Amino acid sequence: MRKRSDDTYQKILVAANTLFIEKGYAATTIDEISSKANITKRTLYSYFTDKKTLFLGVIEDAVGNPWELNTPLDKITSKGDLYVALYAIANGINDIFGQPRYTQLLRVIINEINTYPELEIHARKGITNVALNTLTDLLELANESNLIKIQNPDDSARMFVGGLLTYLYLDGLLTIDPNKLTKLSTLEIFRYINNFLPILDFEASEKEWHTSKITSSIIKAKE
């Protein structure tokens, strides 16, 4: 398969994304995608082996890489570092679900998952697994460093990600017009994290200190 960085690759993704959203997964054909991208089928197959891998490519392109933590995992040595990392992960999930495009692709998956169960795998590779793996690694390191006290980092990661996804899934999927999606505000993300901190045995006094300090730094960074 060819490199993902060239213009033809992007043309294929744009064409496929448009058709999958307009017609659904089953009704969209490789012929239609190649025609819309103004390329031959042979060229398309040099980038994607079949429609399934192309759909996964569209999902991955919609997700991007929103979990770029300012501090590498192995450099997180304080509860302040941990709080900033939790914010980055929560905000990354929030940004993805604020995209009308991603919500529309999720609707395609939900509508056709009974006929094409492999679409579930594509959806998990998109956002759920990436967020869970990043957060699980983060909590494992924090636990080993005695920054938090939890028995099962994987379960805690699922609770954190699951709560966010429940809110955003319902809000996004039940919105008639995806272009009118409303993302969580910075304050709402902080409230969500603060409600999660007791699970990590994160002391309230430290929580309040980090919230006030980190809130001001993040708001300044956005200005």
Give domain status of residue 2, yes or no: no
Give domain status of residue 104, yes or no: yes
Q: What is the mean pLDDT of residues 75-81?
A: 83
Same domain, 177 and 210: yes
What pLDDT is stored for residue 204 in this prediction? Answer: 47
Give domain status of residue 77, yes or no: yes
Give domain status of residue 38, yes or no: yes
* Rounded Cα–Cα distance for residues 14 and 21 (Å): 11
Segments forming the whole domain that contains residue 131 = 64-222
Number of folded domains that form the chain = 2
Same domain, 27 and 69: no
Q: Who has greater pLDDT, 182 or 206?
A: 182
Contacts 24+ apart (CB under 8 A), 109-118: 109/25, 110/173, 111/24, 112/24, 112/25, 112/26, 115/26, 116/25, 116/26, 118/52
8-state DSSP, 27: T
Q: Are 72 and 139 in contact (CB under 8 A)?
A: no
Same domain, 11 and 85: no
pLDDT beyond 70 at 41: yes
Same domain, 25 and 78: no
pTM of the prediction? 0.76
Same domain, 136 and 121: yes
What pLDDT is stored for residue 200 in this prediction? Answer: 86
- Read off the pLDDT band of 23 (50, 70, 90): very high
- Read off the pLDDT band of 2 (50, 70, 90): low
Q: Which of 91, 83, 94, 190 is nearest to 138 (CA)?
A: 83
134: CATH: 1.10.357
Domain boundary among 44, 60, 76: 60
What pLDDT is stored for residue 217 in this prediction? Answer: 57
Same domain, 161 and 217: yes
* Rounded Cα–Cα distance for residues 155 and 100 (Å): 29
Give domain status of residue 1, yes or no: no
pLDDT beyond 60 at 212: no
Q: Give backbone dihedrals phi and psi of 139, rounded to 5 degrees, phi first.
A: -70, -35
Same domain, 54 and 130: no
Same domain, 47 and 131: no
- Read off the pLDDT band of 221 (50, 70, 90): very low
Same domain, 35 and 95: no
Domain boundary among 60, 77, 102: 60
Q: Which of 164, 139, 157, 148 is nearest to 200 (CA)?
A: 148
Average pLDDT, whole number, for the chain?
81
Same domain, 85 and 53: no
pLDDT beyond 50 at 223: no
Q: Are 25 and 119 in contact (CB under 8 A)?
A: yes
What pLDDT is stored for residue 211 in this prediction? Answer: 58
- Read off the pLDDT band of 59 (50, 70, 90): confident
Q: Who has greater pLDDT, 186 or 123?
A: 186
pLDDT beyond 70 at 9: yes
Model pLDDT for residues 89-100, shown as the tens digit of each residue: 898 888 887 778
- Read off the pLDDT band of 203 (50, 70, 90): low
